[in-house]
Amino acid sequence: MQENFTGSIAFTPHQLRSLRLAATSGLLIAGASVAAVAGGMKYFMIALAIMMAGWVYKKPNEGIAAGTIYLLACNVIFPHSARFDWMEDPWEMRYWAAGLLMITLAACAGVGFRNLSRIPAAVKVFLLVAVAAAFVGLNKGGSLSYVSRQFYGSLLLAVYFAIAYRIGDEELLLRRLRVVGLVGAFLFFLYYAAVFSKYGFHKEMTTLGTLEGIVALLCMAVGLSRKSLGWTVSGVITFAVPALLFWRHAVLMCVFGVLLTLAMKAARKRTKLALYCASAVLVIPSLFPAGAGLILERALNNATIERILPGGAGDITSLEDRVIQLWASLDVLQRSPLFGDGFGNEIAWDSVSRGVVAQAFVDNGWAYMTAKMGVLGWIAMGWFLFTVLRCVSAKSLEISVAVVALTLVAQFSEPVFFQFTTSPLCGALAGLLCAKRMREEGGLAAHPSPYVPRQHAGALQA
């Protein structure tokens, strides 16, 4: 801000953008408050989606961030009702999915559907296998509702990969996620304080912990790689969300990512090796519940800590269930090797705490893929991950550590690559990583500039 020669106050373009963002955020929060009181929150969220769809149609490079921004907003101001009891119907998520579909279609139209088809063959093969798994699921008795919901997540992974690959802007995505992650964390802290007298420190079954965990990891990786205190502090603040929700795999994912960042930045070989070994140790709780039990037992062996933490904080039955789910998915594979039972069908396993359970959703992401996409799913996803992970490098440090952490840690605890609430961000990160590598190798010469107005998007298809 400065005073011009007429004596009036003039703002710099950056300050004007910040003021507009603050004013828009204030209006949205005010509108959400009114909608919450009037009982029309679902209509408010659809209206927000329509507004964001118009925004990304005009500025399609904003599309890779817009989907995640909308999902963060849904988690914070229109959370689903099953977060306290998984037996309830999370009907709100139908509105999440509808709003996200509007934003995604607008982004695709802005970029150009033909342009989006120019992506690596591995992504196309994965999408074809997902389509086949959907038909298999319907043929084996899966309801259209469940099949379409589970196919939707895989479709979004491919679509957001394509958008990021063709027109993604890494710096823009990081800046948008940082701002929205901090706003989401602030609103979550207000909510948590409001319910603290009733619930105390408690767990909630929500994807907010995973989304904010990914944002936290990205911010901390940027802060460490660029030696930026502001980014590091932003990451620590955002990290408090999964920590307060006791979302263990999100916390592990962040710590793993930080150690991996330090390892990739370290100059001495001994330091690199020590940090890589430390990060590898953090994968153990995901693979071996007994190891996780030992770690938790040592960490919680204190009466004061035990009183503060919610009941079940040291319980490893959920980890054990995830391993059992993987074995149960192999039984499905023996019965239906090519595509498993397809999308929408249930998988049964003998839960440690709940007895025999049969449900369509599977917590372990690899078990989810095995049961629903079979051997062909493994081949397609393996090719997809090979294509993405071969692009990991210190030149794309922040995106690289996030993708590796999602693959080696988060995917064992939830199907982050396949559920619609997290797959857009996973696809966007993977697409950005591949695009950067391809540009360096000269294989993506037609890659557009970071900002392409809608009216010029057609030129990209030439």
pLDDT digits (tens, 9 = 90+) for 14-39: 555 555 555 555 555 555 555 554 55
Cβ burial 360-381 (10 Å sphere, 16+ → b, else e): bebbbbbbbbbbbbbebbbebb
What proportion of the chain, given as a percentage, has pLDDT over 70? 79
Distance from C-alpha of 48 to C-alpha of 103, rounded to nearest angstrom: 10
Residue 305: is its pLDDT beyond 50? Answer: no
- According to the model, what pLDDT value does residue 249 have? 85
pLDDT confidence bin for 310, thresholds 50/70/90: low
Distance from C-alpha of 148 to C-alpha of 155, rounded to nearest angstrom: 10
Q: Please provide the average confidence, as pLDDT, over all residues in the chain.
A: 83
Distance from C-alpha of 278 to C-alpha of 259, rounded to nearest angstrom: 7
* Domain residue limits, the chain: 11-80+91-118, 119-301+314-443
Residue of 205 and 235 predicted with greater confidence: 235
- According to the model, what pLDDT value does residue 32 have? 54
pLDDT digits (tens, 9 = 90+) for 160-201: 999 999 998 999 999 999 999 999 999 999 999 998 888 888
pLDDT digits (tens, 9 = 90+) for 432-442: 999 988 777 76
- Which residue, 391, 396, 355, 349, is CA-closest to 370? 349
Which of the residue ranges 36-45, 246-255, 305-314, 367-376 would you say has the lowest mean pLDDT?
A: 305-314
**Residue with tokens 């996803």, as numbered in its chain:** 381
Distance from C-alpha of 77 to C-alpha of 191, rounded to nearest angstrom: 9
- Which residue, 121, 102, 113, 124, is CA-closest to 163? 113
Distance from C-alpha of 369 to C-alpha of 382, rounded to nearest angstrom: 11
- According to the model, what pLDDT value does residue 322 have? 80
- According to the model, what pLDDT value does residue 316 have? 57
SS3 of the chain: the string is CEECCCCCEECCHHHHHHHHHHHHHHHHHHHHHHHHHHCCHHHHHHHHHHHHHHHHHHCHHHHHHHHHHHHHHHHHHCCCHHHCCCCCCCCHHHHHHHHHHHHHHHHHHHHCHHHHCCCCHHHHHHHHHHHHHHHHHHHCCCCHHHHHHHHHHHHHHHHHHHHHHHHCCHHHHHHHHHHHHHHHHHHHHHHHHHHHHHHCCCCCCCCHHHHHHHHHHHHHHHHHHHCCHHHHHHHHHHHHHHHHCCCHHHHHHHHHHHHHHHHHHCCCHHHHHHHHHHHHHCCHHHHCHHHHHHHHHHHCCCHHHHHHCCCCCCCCHHHHHHHHHHHHHHHHHHHCCCCCCCCCCCEEEEECCCEEEEECCCCCHHHHHHHHHHHHHHHHHHHHHHHHHCCCCHHHHHHHHHHHHHHHCHHHCCCCCCCCCCHHHHHHHHHHHHHHHHHHCCCCCCCCCCCCCHHHHHHHHC
Which of the residue ranges 70-79, 154-163, 354-363, 413-422 would you say has the lowest mean pLDDT?
A: 354-363
- According to the model, what pLDDT value does residue 413 have? 85
Q: Give the torsion sign (CA, 153, 154, 158, 161).
A: positive
- According to the model, what pLDDT value does residue 439 have? 77
pLDDT digits (tens, 9 = 90+) for 349-397: 887 767 788 888 888 899 999 999 999 999 999 999 999 999 998 888 9
pLDDT digits (tens, 9 = 90+) for 251-269: 889 999 999 999 999 889 9
Q: Beta strand 9-10 with 2-3: parallel, antiparallel or unpaired?
A: antiparallel
* Residue 116: Cβ-neighbour burial (10 angstroms; 0-12, 13-18, 19+): buried
In this prediction, residues 215-220 reach a mean pLDDT of 97
- According to the model, what pLDDT value does residue 352 have? 72
Cβ atoms of 339 and 373 closer than 8 Å = yes
**Residue with tokens 């507009």, as numbered in its chain:** 20
Mention every residue, 6+ apart, whose C-beta is less than 8 A from residue 65.
Answer: 172, 173, 176, 177, 180, 428
- Which residue, 208, 260, 219, is CA-closest to 409? 260
pLDDT confidence bin for 296, thresholds 50/70/90: very low
- According to the model, what pLDDT value does residue 306 have? 47
